[in-house]
Amino acid sequence: MKNTFGNSVSVTLFGESHGAQIGAVLDGLAPGIPVSEVYIAARLSRRRPSGAISTKRVEPDNFKIVSGVFNGFTTGTPLCILIPNENTKSGDYEATRALARPGHADYTAYCKYHGFEDYRGGGHFSGRLTAPLVAAGAVAMYALEQKGIRIGTHIARCAQIADRAFGDLERDLTFLQESQFAVLDPEAADKMRAAMKAAAEDGDSVGGVLETSVTGMPAGVGEPFFDSLESVLAHAMFSIPAVKGVEFGDGFALADGRGSQTNDSFAMQDDRIVTRTNHNGGINGGISNGMPILFRCAVKPTPSIYREQETVDFLQGRDRKILIKGRHDPAIVHRAVVVADCVTALVLCDMLTQRFGTDYLGPSRATSLEV
């Protein structure tokens, strides 16, 4: 299966940047989970572009849940969320359809779909598709919160400017949930915004690194082969357009250390088993150990830049130059924060449901009988 991900809880994605509607089907979530449209809207608004550091295409994201919710709760049957595309300017793309935009999927889409792909605005490859992913993921994230599992992502690095590391996680996650620009250190935030603006003024773009933390995750979730928690999370994160690297715990830095430095030793803490450090990001042998899950995703600079670039006309097979028009972001890393949160939530709902059964994320049975 291609546009469907997950085993026990799955999400199916559809739509194109300039099509009539985009959407997602979320299936397998327990019955009885409250669905808050306000919460979903808040998540979508964090993905939405704003101001000088984002594309001028602003969509209201008037999502509509057309199935799977009844009287405010999930039914347990597929939940379909639709988002209309309202602010499309398709004319922008016609002239350059056979000019492969560097860093984009135009050429590979052509190799795969032989010219039948909807080439307007990136079609199905567009970052616009992350809107329904966020909407579906927001439902999952809300479900996890009812179970005390919290997810938060900050921009750990952007344009070579570093945010401070996660500290008091509960406080940081609370801060991030409210934040429109997910940077823990206000000074770093200002610098990042400035760097984004500077890139925009140069007709250029910047990338960044997202760092995600999950607290409250029960131990014992994940598989040794092949569905390690790292495997499944990475699989999902690499589906997010522009993600080119994923690392857990200290990740690539682990490779430079010695075992005596990178092993997380265990200790008893109030009758609970914990690790003294968390170099392994809460995962041993592919399975959660009860410590916070921690991972980072590398987001490449937005490939759409306002400079002339070398390329080819792939229909005529000759060298050409391209100057991209349209409305684009000088950076997407700040908009991808909530995508990382929501995709993480989808994966965790799936893994927890596999592990503990289809009722696990729902209300206790006692409650449900009274409904």
Task: Please list every residue from 206 through 225 that binds its own copies, using CB under 8 A.
Answer: 206-209, 219-225
Q: Does 89 bind its own copies (CB under 8 A)?
A: no
The count of residues interacting with its own copies (CB under 8 A) is: 160
Look-up of token digits 């150990």: 289
Closest CB 178 distance from its own copies, rounded Å:
25
Cα 303 from Cα 323, distance rounded (Å): 12
Q: At its nearest, how many Å lie between its own copies and the CB of residue 258?
A: 5
Looking at residues 13 to 52 of the shown chain, list those that interact with its own copies (rule: CB under 8 A).
13-16, 19-23, 25, 27-28, 31-32
Q: Which amino acid is at 198?
A: A
Among 58, 60, 62, 66, binds its own copies (CB under 8 A): 66
Output the CA–CA distances (angstroms, integers) from residue 50 to 46, 139, 314, 342, in the order listed. Answer: 9, 23, 34, 20
Report the interhelical angle of 333-356 vs 37-47 (nearest 10°). 140
Nearest distance in Å: CB 326, its own copies: 14
Q: Does the footprint of its own copies cover residue 305 (CB under 8 A)?
A: yes
Tell me the residue type at 315: L
Q: CB count, 10 Å around CB of 356?
A: 14
Q: Among 89, 187, 307, 323, indicate the residue that binds its own copies (CB under 8 A).
A: 307
Question: Cβ neighbours of residue 270 under 8 Å, at least 6 residues apart?
Answer: none
Q: What part of residues 96-115 is at the interface with its own copies (CB under 8 A)?
A: 100, 102-105, 107-109, 111-115
* Amino acid type, 99: L
Residue 213 near residue 173 (C-beta atoms within 8 A): yes
Tell me the window of 47-55, 166-174, 182-190, 229-237 that interacts with its own copies (CB under 8 A). 229-237
By beta-carbon proximity to its own copies, the closer residue of 64 and 171 is 64
Per CB under 8 A, contacts with its own copies among 240-279 are 241, 243-252, 254-268, 271, 273, 275-276
Examine residue 287 and tell whether it contacts its own copies (CB under 8 A).
yes
Rounded Cα distance, 335 and 119, in Å? 23
Rounded Cα distance between 58 and 48, Å, is 7
Q: How far is the CB of 187 from its own copies (least distance, A)?
A: 19
Residue 159 contacts its own copies per CB under 8 A: yes
Strand-pairing partners, residue 4, are 12
DSSP 8-state assignment for residue 27: E
Please count the other Cβ atoms lying within 10 Å of the Cβ belonging to residue 246: 20
User: Phi and psi at residue 84, in whole multiples of 5°?
Assistant: -75, 150
Give the residue with the Cβ less far from its own copies, 138 or 324: 324
Among 302, 334, 335, 338, binds its own copies (CB under 8 A): 302
What residues have CB less than 8 Å from 73, skipping those under 6 apart? Answer: 31, 32, 33, 34, 35, 371
Give the x/- contact pattern for its own copies in 322-361, rule: CB under 8 A: -----------x--------------------xxxxxxx-
Q: Give 152 or 303: the residue with its C-beta nearer to its own copies.
A: 303
Provide the minimum distance between the beta carbon of 149 and its own copies in the complex, in angstroms, as a whole number. 16
**Is residue 232 close enough to count as binding its own copies by CB under 8 A?**
yes
Binding to its own copies by residue 127, rule CB under 8 A? no
Residue type at position 347: V
175 binds its own copies (CB under 8 A): no
Token readout for 328 is 């684009």
Among 204, 215, 216, 292, interactor with its own copies by CB under 8 A: 204
Q: How far is CA 228 from the centre of its chain?
A: 19
Question: Is 189 an interacting residue with respect to its own copies (CB under 8 A)?
Answer: no
User: What number of residues does the chain have?
Assistant: 371
Task: Name the minimum Å distance from CB 40 to its own copies.
Answer: 16
* 92 belongs to the binding site for its own copies (CB under 8 A): no
